[in-house]
Structure 1
Amino acid sequence: MPNRLARATSPYLQQHAENPVDWWEWSDEALAVAQELDRPILLSVGYAACHWCHVMAHESFEDAATAAYMNDHYINIKVDREERPDIDAVYMKATTAMTGQGGWPMTCVLTPTGEPFFAGTYFPPEPRQGTPAFTQVLQALAEAWRDRRDEVLTISNDVLEHLRQNTDSVGGPLGSDQLDDAVAELAKQYDAEAGGFGTSPKFPPSMVLEFLLRNAARTGSEQALGMVAGSCEAMARGGMYDQLSGGFARYSVDRFWRVPHFEKMLYDNALLLRVYLHWWRQTGSPLAERIARETARFMLDELRTPEGGFASALDADSDGHEGTFYVWNPNQLMRLLGADDGAWAAQLLGVTGPGTFERGFSTLQLRVDPDDAERWERVRTTLLAARAERTRPARDDKVVASWNGLAITALAEASVLLDEPDFADAAVAAAQLLVDVHLADGFARTSRDGVAGANSAVLEDHGAVAEAFIAVLGITGEAVWLDQARQLLDRVVEHFTDPDGGFFDTADDAETLVVRPKDASDNAYPSGASAAVAALLSFAAITGGHGYRAAAESGIASAANIATQVPRFAGWTLAAAEAVVAGPLEIAVVGPRKDRTALHRAALRLASPGAVVIAGDVGLAIPLFEQRDLVDGHPAAYVCEGFVCRRPVTDPDELVSAFGTPTG
């Protein structure tokens, strides 16, 4: 019989609906049953595109004997980390504190009231490389709960005390000296040979790259721009990037970006679209422009849902193996392309006899541009057609508010800079879905098939979606989007602010967990605090609202110690601080839509950190447009910086020459 997860809206939870484990969703009822039966809670956290989550499910949760033991001794709760990042944050902090590392699947054992006393990640079905079997862990912990209760409670109290410690000590503002010091610190960790930072596995450092681009724009630093160029080129030319249809995988398992973990996440591609767009804007790199266009097309082609939002992810697996959809061997190329084109493609794409991946297969790399563009297009088209016949990876079509916010912001900007109107249409449609579905009754973090989920939005959702609404205002000139952003940011200030500085990740009227999570460090995507800071800064620039600016500066200060000590985990905060140092520029492009396009594009081509650009008709009912009119009948750009406004400019070339000389 299906368990309770058959009624879940999460694709990840539904993947476990046929397990023999008697799963619960996280709920007051589940905790109440645990207390009534005096059983510990087995908490399993993962997400739909997680490869090792699938492995552990097949090995343990689908095994009847293992499931029977779990059902007899535990209350078993399954959580989708993408639906409940607040629960994930609390217990991931416990996991890293207890084991020194984290990741998914995350496996925690809790007291019936939710305090953790054991934590780990993946456990195999039999002992392996020093890791005990999952059944051994289950039996040992059940016995400890039964026979050594005092010892267990002592551990849980110690862990809870650690979780309650606020690690975000408020520092000072991040000025130009601190920002330049962060660049120097990043340079020490930069891999000059392979691009990126640190060693394997390597994750795309999207937020750090945005910071470095802004720093280079402000200071002219060749060092900062060089780290961006080296990293972006290496990622785009390696197996991390889908050389046939665009889109980035989650991370590279090796230092040189050859072999990825093949899942494709919306947030990675949204953030990287913006990075490559800005890299092109600052350098004119043809590679940057191509990757930006292809990444945006991938998002529209592969991740758009029928309702107009963007799905969370594509799975890594198909046909029972990771990467099957994406990898090739020389025989396949020869059979499809013929001997000449097959050999040429194999050499061009790094497909070898032994293989660069597994089972004699290779990922596709494009380390140099093809010497024959027409031939490459013919080969690419043939390979795409053949790949389309393969079993496609599953898609997690859950719409996550914050990740859609990141996508909307990137697509809105790209629509103007790349002259792609359908990018704008997609951005507006996704924003409208968020209004119509996610914000129809409170603020739901997720939706699926046009139906809002039951879980409330957290801080990152408020920040990323507010910034997205501001981006849509910027390209449509419709004041309603500023009103939508205001409602979200007012809630941030009123319900998420920590009196001691910065922001909590959950609202003061949200569900109470064992601790209220607060973490200003960026991980795979911007933290709630840094997402809120970015939106607050832009909103303050448009409205002149000093309270919003003060809230943003408080958020930056709350992450100052992280930003100065470990800047790799504070890229979005550092990028926001660059905007503070730069002003940011406030640019109102005034005029009819059909006449203002060139001026609007010129304004967005300015690389000034965090510049806020709004284009709209005369009389747009927002503060930035007050008393702003055409100049001699022509559209005009009004530019202000640091409470000082310049004379309006009507010539796009004059705007560029006055405020920067981008080459994109």
Structure 2
Amino acid sequence: MNRLGSATSPYLLQHKDNPVAWQEWGEEAFAEARRRDVPVLLSVGYAACHWCHVMAHESFEDPDVAAVLNSGFVSIKVDREERPDVDAVYMTATTAMTGQGGWPMTCFLTPDGEPFFCGTYYPRAQFLQLLGAVREAWTTRRDQVDATGANVARALGQMARAASPDALDEDALDGAVAALSEDFDPVHGGFGGAPKFPPSPVLEFLLRHHARTGDDDALRMVEATCEAMARGGMYDQLAGGFARYSVDARWIVPHFEKMLYDNAQLLRVYLHLHRATGSALAERVVRETADFLLRDLGTPQGAFASSLDADAAGVEGLTYVWKPAQLAEVLGPDDGARAAELLSVTDLGTFERGSSTLQLRREPEDRAWWADVRERLLTARAERPQPGRDDKVVTSWNGLTIAALAEAGVLLQEPAYLDAARACAEFVLATHLVDGRLRRASRDGVVGAAAGVADDHGNLAEGLLALHQATGEPRWLEAAGDLLETALTHFADGAGGFFDVADDAERLVTRPKDPSDNVEPSGQSSLGGALLTYSALTGSSRHREAAESALAAAGAIARAAPRFAGWSLAVAEAAAAGPLQVAVVGDDDAAAELAALARASTSPGLVVAVGPPDAPGVPLLADRPLVRGGAAAYVCRGFVCDLPVTTAPDLAAQLGTGSRETAS
């Protein structure tokens, strides 16, 4: 009997009517496998995964395939976004066995959870052959199967051991920029060839490196990549927001799903690019992406859903692509032809069946005309089949979103963004914290059973610290400190880094630990960044030392493969530049002006505290009096403070050059 009907994951619920007797991950399923003495089929995917849908339609909805699975296997379905710990363990095994990974992930396990064969997508005929071969090996070569599983489990444990610490010093940071420059695509932006994923953590590192050192090569790579992504088909030119990746090297044809974690990080990258350069394109992308998040991914509870599907009505990209005749039908012949030329929609097409993704290779000369066209096309597009939405609320990704919206709210002076960040933080803390411990996800306001992992703690703490700096409210600083204390107590590996799961979490065949950053920060680097920011806001040397140890634990991978250590490198830039602490006391317009100027600083080590003198719960404001009864700013570098200033020019001078006259 299929047992997914009571699942909270939208991905699992997509499979609740399959004839396969799916079970959720848990001891009950493995106990049944031991009782029946059969292998376990583990299928891992996520709701927006195109090839997961394909394999489901081809195989898991097929009665003949289901009959084979139900008679000879215990079948477990896992949402990788809900159980990243399970996904991490078996993706490592899959990559080790096959040389590549991806979803859907298909693994065969012993009843003790040890993997003995792993792969990804299999067409129906090949999958049936594989099931037969696994059953044959299980019944006739059982000793070999068990030995393989034990050897793989042993190897996974060895891979998770801590690497030797290697400090991310000035040479390492400069070397990372040089290595990235060699891998940079000077024609189309981005790194490497197709497919191209948005390298958000790497772009943040390069922005911070430029801010700290003035390295124009680092900024050039960011500007070229951000413009190419924003003008290509990977960016939704009508509704805002980025697709997950581009299948080509020119950013023209995306894999159409939109992920919360991508859009939150890219919003922050473009915001910081706008702050550094004044780019109008970057500001437009920030506003459109923030509006997309609020409009299309916001949940009734105030948080943010995980993703929009790549498919609509079973067809990938159906919602988003256009033909010239379709533009003319909506806009009329003249405007349709004009829009087709502007948006690179041709008779030949750039996508399937003569359709085209929309590109915006130049800014429209007539802004009013373009605004009208965009609105009309959006209205027509809304009448098409729409992609499904995975409305699961993931702690980690909502933390990334809180940080991005909080910063966008204050830097762009958009209260709606800041209000959204605050509402999201309130919901996550009220719902996802259960008995003082963080859970991974919720849906429709009901929290799931899966425990929070390291990046849940790190990214949520990062978001709360950004919200504290944006609002001056001490409750967010306190909540972040509690999360970091939990991480230091339950996730530390004893060698300076962090495991992905807590010491009291469910036991898997190995305790996963991956320090590498890919499309989002790893648990280790996210915790390192939050620890560093918290130390600057509170003056805690213990948290600073923990942050530096986490960075050193990622040093080897950062030196060898900087594309897979982007957030660790970004945090290392903050460590090298900071802390630069700016405390603004006062609550009038003068204080607001000083705070806005402080937040405009591009220093990677910057933290800002704003509020009345000696505000409870805000350490940076302690013993900072008003000056002559008015607002004042105190600038400190490395815990050595300049004299307080009361005017914007004086603060700008301190932030730009740093007065060497210090106060006790």
Please name the residue that 2:100 is paired with.
Answer: 101
Please name the residue that 2:283 is paired with.
Answer: 289
Q: Is the 8 A contact 2:588 2:631 kept in 1?
A: no
1:551 and 2:546 are equivalent in the alignment = yes
Q: Is the 8 A contact 1:310 1:397 kept in 2?
A: yes
1:7-48 residue CA offsets vs partner (Å, 9 max, x unmatched): 000000000000000000001111111111111000000001
Please name the residue that 1:250 is paired with.
Answer: 244
Aligned equivalent of 2:334, options 340, 352, 373: 340
Please name the residue that 1:446 is paired with.
Answer: 441
Moved more, 381-390 or 651-660: 651-660
1:624-651 residue CA offsets vs partner (Å, 9 max, x unmatched): 1111122223322222111211122322
Q: Is the 8 A contact 2:579 2:639 kept in 1?
A: no
1:641 and 2:658 are equivalent in the alignment = no
1:34 and 2:33 are equivalent in the alignment = yes
Q: Is the 8 A contact 1:41 1:109 kept in 2?
A: yes
1:539 and 2:534 are equivalent in the alignment = yes
Aligned equivalent of 1:499, options 494, 497, 517: 494
State the alpha-carbon separation in 2 of the partners of residues 465 and 321 from structure 1.
Answer: 35
1:90-144 residue CA offsets vs partner (Å, 9 max, x unmatched): 0000000000000110000000110000000000113xxxxxx110111100110
Q: Is the 8 A contact 2:166 2:554 kept in 1?
A: no
Q: Which residue identity is paired with 2:287? A: R
Please name the residue that 2:516 is paired with.
Answer: 521
State the alpha-carbon separation in 2 of the partners of residues 15 and 513 from structure 1.
Answer: 26
Q: Which residue identity is paired with 1:308? A: G
Q: Which residue identity is paired with 1:143? A: E
1:215 and 2:209 are equivalent in the alignment = yes
State the alpha-carbon separation in 1 of the partners of residues 601 and 84 from structure 2.
Answer: 35
User: How far apart are 1:168 and its partner, in Å?
Assistant: 4.1
State the alpha-carbon separation in 1 of the partners of residues 360 and 512 from structure 2.
Answer: 42
Q: Which residue identity is paired with 1:74? A: F
State the alpha-carbon separation in 2 of the partners of residues 552 and 267 from structure 1.
Answer: 23
State the alpha-carbon separation in 1 of the partners of residues 67 and 647 from structure 2.
Answer: 73
State the alpha-carbon separation in 2 of the partners of residues 649 and 392 from structure 1.
Answer: 54
SS of the residue 1:633 aligns to: coil
User: How far apart are 1:343 and its partner, in Å?
Assistant: 0.8
1:146 and 2:139 are equivalent in the alignment = yes
State the alpha-carbon separation in 2 of the partners of residues 584 and 253 from structure 1.
Answer: 40
User: How far apart are 1:557 and its partner, in Å?
Assistant: 0.7
TM-score, normalized by length of structure 2? 0.97
State the alpha-carbon separation in 2 of the partners of residues 117 and 214 from structure 1.
Answer: 44
State the alpha-carbon separation in 1 of the partners of residues 361 and 345 from structure 2.
Answer: 12
1:380 and 2:374 are equivalent in the alignment = yes
Q: Which residue identity is paired with 1:147? A: T
SS of the residue 1:473 aligns to: helix
State the alpha-carbon separation in 1 of the partners of residues 446 and 409 from structure 2.
Answer: 28
State the alpha-carbon separation in 1 of the partners of residues 58 and 651 from structure 2.
Answer: 62
1:21-78 residue CA offsets vs partner (Å, 9 max, x unmatched): 0000001111111111111000000001111100100000000000110010100000
Q: Is the 8 A contact 1:170 1:501 kept in 2?
A: no
Please name the residue that 1:156 is paired with.
Answer: 149
User: How far apart are 1:170 and its partner, in Å?
Assistant: 2.6
User: How far apart are 1:171 and its partner, in Å?
Assistant: 2.5
User: How far apart are 1:164 and its partner, in Å?
Assistant: 0.7
User: How far apart are 1:595 and its partner, in Å?
Assistant: 4.7
Aligned equivalent of 2:186, options 182, 192, 197: 192
Please give the residue correspondences for 1:56-205 in structure 2 after superposition, counting only pairs within 5 Å.
Answer: 56-126=55-125, 133-165=126-158, 166=160, 168-205=162-199
Q: Which residue identity is paired with 2:381? A: R
Moved more, 206-215 or 169-178: 169-178
State the alpha-carbon separation in 2 of the partners of residues 405 and 173 from structure 1.
Answer: 27
Please name the residue that 1:19 is paired with.
Answer: 18
Q: Which residue identity is paired with 2:498? A: F
Please give the residue correspondences for 1:182-581 in structure 2 after superposition, counting only pairs within 5 Å.
Answer: 182-441=176-435, 442-581=437-576
Q: Is the 8 A contact 1:593 1:616 kept in 2?
A: no
State the alpha-carbon separation in 2 of the partners of residues 330 and 361 from structure 1.
Answer: 8
State the alpha-carbon separation in 2 of the partners of residues 416 and 314 from structure 1.
Answer: 28
Please name the residue that 1:129 is paired with.
Answer: none
User: How far apart are 1:494 and its partner, in Å?
Assistant: 0.9
Please name the residue that 1:611 is paired with.
Answer: 606
Change (3 A) 1:414 1:653: farther
State the alpha-carbon separation in 2 of the partners of residues 563 and 634 from structure 1.
Answer: 46
State the alpha-carbon separation in 1 of the partners of residues 380 and 486 from structure 2.
Answer: 50
1:560-589 residue CA offsets vs partner (Å, 9 max, x unmatched): 011011000000000000011111211222
Q: Which residue identity is paired with 2:336? A: G
TM-score, normalized by length of structure 1? 0.97
SS of the residue 1:6 aligns to: coil
State the alpha-carbon separation in 2 of the partners of residues 144 and 556 from structure 1.
Answer: 45
Q: Is the 8 A contact 1:5 1:16 kept in 2?
A: yes
State the alpha-carbon separation in 1 of the partners of residues 219 and 431 from structure 2.
Answer: 41
State the alpha-carbon separation in 1 of the partners of residues 67 and 201 from structure 2.
Answer: 45
Moved more, 539-548 or 199-208: 539-548
State the alpha-carbon separation in 2 of the partners of residues 114 and 478 from structure 1.
Answer: 46
Cα root mean square deviation, aligned: 1.2
State the alpha-carbon separation in 2 of the partners of residues 652 and 482 from structure 1.
Answer: 27
Count residues in correspondence. 654
1:290-338 residue CA offsets vs partner (Å, 9 max, x unmatched): 1111111111111110000000001111021001000000000111111
Please name the residue that 1:9 is paired with.
Answer: 8
Q: Is the 8 A contact 1:599 1:651 kept in 2?
A: yes
Q: Is the 8 A contact 1:40 1:112 kept in 2?
A: yes
SS of the residue 2:76 aligns to: strand
SS of the residue 2:504 aligns to: coil
State the alpha-carbon separation in 2 of the partners of residues 121 and 277 from structure 1.
Answer: 37
Q: Which residue identity is paired with 1:412? A: A
Q: Is the 8 A contact 1:584 1:608 kept in 2?
A: no
State the alpha-carbon separation in 2 of the partners of residues 337 and 653 from structure 1.
Answer: 51
Q: Which residue identity is paired with 1:311? A: A
Q: Which residue identity is paired with 1:357? A: F
State the alpha-carbon separation in 2 of the partners of residues 228 and 656 from structure 1.
Answer: 26
Percent identity between the two aligned chains? 60
State the alpha-carbon separation in 1 of the partners of residues 260 and 633 from structure 2.
Answer: 34
Q: Which residue identity is paired with 1:639? A: V
1:628 and 2:621 are equivalent in the alignment = no
Q: Is the 8 A contact 2:576 2:605 kept in 1?
A: no
Moved more, 420-429 or 166-175: 166-175
State the alpha-carbon separation in 2 of the partners of residues 80 and 649 from structure 1.
Answer: 53
SS of the residue 1:340 aligns to: helix
State the alpha-carbon separation in 2 of the partners of residues 595 and 55 from structure 1.
Answer: 59
1:256-286 residue CA offsets vs partner (Å, 9 max, x unmatched): 0000000000000000001000001111111
Q: Is the 8 A contact 2:465 2:477 kept in 1?
A: yes
Q: Which residue identity is paired with 1:34? A: A
Q: Which residue identity is paired with 1:140? A: A
SS of the residue 2:645 aligns to: coil
Q: Is the 8 A contact 1:168 1:519 kept in 2?
A: no
Give 5+ residue unaligned stretches, structure 1.
127-132
User: How far apart are 1:173 and its partner, in Å?
Assistant: 1.5
Q: Is the 8 A contact 1:170 1:559 kept in 2?
A: no
